[in-house]
Amino acid sequence: MDADYWMAAQAQRGGAVLAAPDANGAAETEDWRTQLQTDSRERIVNKIMETLKRHLPHSGEEGLQELRKIAMKFEEKIYIAATSPMLSMERGDWRTQLQPESRQRIVNKIMETLKRHLPFSGPEGLQEIKKIAVRFEEKIYSAASSQSDYLRKISLKMLSMETKSQNPIANSLQPDNASSSQDPQG
């Protein structure tokens, strides 16, 4: 694996570029991947090869060459998909920008929707609805890739609850559609 090949391949793909200060404090544009030594990538490929040898059947030199190709392709895909830790810190995680008050307002909205659609009684029932709302919000918060994804997923779920409850007749008729299409005369 030669360094020129890796750098050229990355340049063709338009790799992630970040600004790193040079000795004079000026920002110099550089792809973080160019700082990764070629022998480091070779060691990674070798580690992948060892794992593949342990878990995949192979025989002879042909089998080893095939495993090597797989290891190199796998390493290349990971290398291309990787993002710089510095770059991701600059962009910041969307979760750090969402205020706790906003999350609480969202949990409260979820609770209001659940209260309209789930039977409950007394403080214990209300507490259970709150637990459900908090767990649901946390699950979406953890899984979402962005703030808009977070809001979209919550909105869609709340909308589907509203839609299901507004169409109880249509929902109850759906399972009977097959039998109602039969000739009533029998």
Q: Domain coordinates of the chain in residue numbers?
A: 3-91, 94-168
Q: Is the dihedral of CA 108, 114, 163, 156 positive or negative?
A: positive
Cβ partners under 8 Å of residue 16, min gap 6: 31, 32, 33, 83, 84, 87
Print pLDDT tens along the chain (186 aa).
444 444 444 444 444 333 444 445 444 445 666 777 778 888 888 988 888 888 888 889 998 998 899 888 888 877 776 654 444 444 568 888 889 999 999 999 999 999 998 999 999 999 999 999 999 999 999 999 999 999 999 999 988 888 887 765 555 555 544 444 444 444
Phi, psi dihedrals of residue 59, rounded to the nearest 5°:
-145, 135
Q: Tell whether domain 94-168 is in CATH 2.60.120.10.
A: no
- Provide the whole-model pTM: 0.43
